[in-house]
Amino acid sequence: MTGEDIDRYVKAQHALHTGVEIALTVSSQFGQMKQFRAEFVTLTSDVSALVKLLIKKGVITLDEYDKAAADEIEADVKEFQETLRLFGCVTELR
């Protein structure tokens, strides 16, 4: 992972965490997010195993995956910001 991709990923991950905290204070509907923690941990493990297998088999490189992961989490932040705006939260997640 390039240093730039690491920075992008960590920044976007922090933004999503901030957004979840804001969402939990705005609407009880977002309280259901906490119920998905176990599923999230499982999914994270599954994705990690798949990425390791694809790299080992030479299908992708770690740098390619890291760039794609950073791109995707940044897109998730933008989408989550739009969801928060629907609940009256005008904010830029950072």
DSSP result, 13-30: HHHHHHHHHHHHHH-GGG
Distance CA 13, CA 79 (A): 13
Q: What is the pLDDT of residue 38?
A: 56
Is a pLDDT exceeding 80 seen at residue 77? yes
Q: What is the pLDDT of residue 1?
A: 56
Q: What is the pLDDT of residue 63?
A: 94
* pLDDT tens profile 14-64: 887 787 777 777 766 665 665 565 566 567 878 989 999 999 999 999 999
| pTM exceeding 0.85 | no
